[in-house]
A and B are shown apart, each in its own frame.
Chain A
């Protein structure tokens, strides 16, 4: 009896074929209303036209190792432009025999950045590691000591220049931005006015203007014969620009803090610096991680604007290769390659920020 009971109990009707498996998923997600059905069909049609021809161009008909002349004959993508010119694209004018030096410096930088991702590693030893690492990087790039040939900074280019401008630009801009935000919140009128004027002035002009100012107008005001390093000038412009934007984001975070936090800190007898350092900033900066990171990412991409003042960052070295008659016309391939490099950098930044947000999340 019991057994019979159990069989009838466990007997289950299968759901209709149209609501499970592939068909069910299609029906539930792609064709669940007439509007979505139309969208699905239109999208599929576009994919049908574009994807096969793209794959044919990029992979089937493409050339990977060949000369420019062979590429001009073939119909597909000419990826050969990358391997044939990779060293100029990556390192620009750095002396050909010494290009292991910027390569090593970049590996060191990326390694240090990667190691610093983990907050458990944030100790005093890491700070020493950074100082040592920066010294070695500077030595590798500049040379002149320990038997390394001296290399002028005018010969720096390509990816090391892009990384240099962005890593140092962003690390210097962030604290400056925080200070400016605090200044704008300050009760002292002089400081407040200076910060407001600075932020509004910088935000009121495009980065290109600042770069032009730094490279074209600024040198005219210096006495004859005195020139400030071009990379340094561009770097300063990028720092000043990014700091103003970060300041406004951080101000948003500061204003988002409830008054109770300030009052609680005061009632504990903390002075201004302690209040900011121990109570307000740790919370405010955490809130603004997403907008800060999006500013940092866009600042990273904006470093490519230095092409207009003829600094050879990775975009400019690529364009220079494209102006060679041998490789003229293969801009799509070269730009796809550069886009990939930018994507990897930006994606890892935003990925890290999401992780950091999760780790710092103490909300209940």
Chain B
């Protein structure tokens, strides 16, 4: 039995490795198809989720739209394929999708053994704790013996166990499969603490019967850089995805928005001229239209616009920029020069 298992795993690994290696020319495939297939979450408000009319909304969704705008000059030439946490990587390996923009944490294991390549991070997240104020806890170090509500099957559960073990504390995990049910259980008092990515905690708190009765503890116990992923080995396609995200960040740095981008075309700044494709070079280097940055900014917006539209302080999620601010504002968003 054990041999069988080992050999099965080996076969799968070989299949995955070959599936990961044997690719080249996603750009040509995509051009031939006439659209991009993007794997997205489907259930995560602010990142990837259809609205009442079935129109896709979210930060990851807009990232995929930016890639479509770069490749086709039309942000709508993208098909969204909702994927579960379990099916997401296979869908990419098997070629069912061209790019995975599904709040995936970049890790060494995924980057290597799974045959993926992660591109520029589009959201820096981290795992935190949400507790009721009346518990009187000020720090995660005081959570010894707590019952913790957690989603199964993600890195969240593992981080939680690691954190408690590292600090010599005990806990009782309360594992619930569905985000909405998890929040319900927490508000009903079935557990003392809810742990999840910080972006999720904010949205969970916003739907509490009394949001002011809950606080997010200061500790962030894990790094969760969420990045789009492509198949390993297709460098041109990876560059395109990479620089589509970077273009949005660079545009914010340069103060170019979807509203003023037409005026910016007339700018005399050579950096901006090169960036927007007025003076050519960048597009050809990537194998794209020279106007690709213009198309992204015009149709999707710069990173700041996309962030504020989907998860920013004026949305239901109400998330501050924090780590996702530009490097000039104390965040981590930094773009190499476009030249």
Contact = CB atoms under 8 A, between A and B. Distances in A.
B94 A227 contact: yes
B38 to A, nearest CB: 12
Nearest to A230: B96
A329 B180 contact: yes
A320 interface: yes
Given A87-B53, A91-B54, A152-B79, A320 B93 contact: no
Contact of A310 (B12, B44, B50, B83): B83
Nearest to A158: B54
B79 A154 contact: yes
Given A319-B178, A320-B43, A88 B53 contact: yes
Given A72-B207, A224-B95, A331-B184, A310 B87 contact: yes
A83 B62 CA distance: 28
Interface in A196-225: 212, 215-217, 219-222, 224-225
A323 B179 contact: yes
A300 interface: no
Contacts of A324: 45, 49, 51
B90 A93 contact: no
B54 A92 contact: yes
Contacts of B29: 225
B96 A310 contact: no
Contacts of B94: 219-220, 222, 227
Given A309-B84, A329-B184, A323 B44 contact: yes
Say which size band chain B's interface belongs to. Answer: 35 or more
A317 B331 CA distance: 36
A328 B183 contact: yes
A325 interface: yes
Say which size band chain A's interface belongs to. Answer: 35 or more
Interface string A346-358: 0000000000000
A326 B46 CA distance: 12
Given A154-B81, A221-B15, A320-B50, A309 B87 contact: yes
A99 to B, nearest CB: 9
Interface in A212-248: 212, 215-217, 219-222, 224-227, 230
Given A72-B207, A72-B209, A227 B96 contact: yes
A216 B90 contact: yes
Contacts of A152: 79
Contacts of A23: none
Contacts of B84: 308-310
A85 B51 CA distance: 9
Contacts of A72: 207, 209
Nearest to B206: A325
A320 B50 CA distance: 8
B53 A227 contact: no
A310 B180 contact: no
A112 B203 CA distance: 46
B203 A310 contact: no
B184 A323 contact: no
Contacts of B240: none
Contacts of B207: 72, 325, 328-329
A88 B52 CA distance: 6
A320 B95 contact: no
A326 B315 CA distance: 11
A94 interface: yes
A57 B96 CA distance: 46
A331 B96 contact: no
24 contacts: A84-B52, A88-B51, A88-B53, A93-B54, A154-B81, A216-B87, A216-B90, A217-B12, A219-B95, A219-B96, A220-B94, A224-B23, A225-B29, A308-B86, A310-B84, A319-B180, A320-B50, A323-B49, A324-B49, A324-B51, A325-B203, A325-B207, A328-B180, A328-B183
Interface of A: 72, 84-85, 87-88, 91-96, 152, 154, 212, 215-217, 219-222, 224-227, 230, 308-310, 312, 319-320, 322-326, 328-329, 331
For the complex of A and B, the 5 pairs showing the least CB-CB separation, nearest first, are: A219-B94, A323-B43, A328-B207, A325-B316, A96-B53
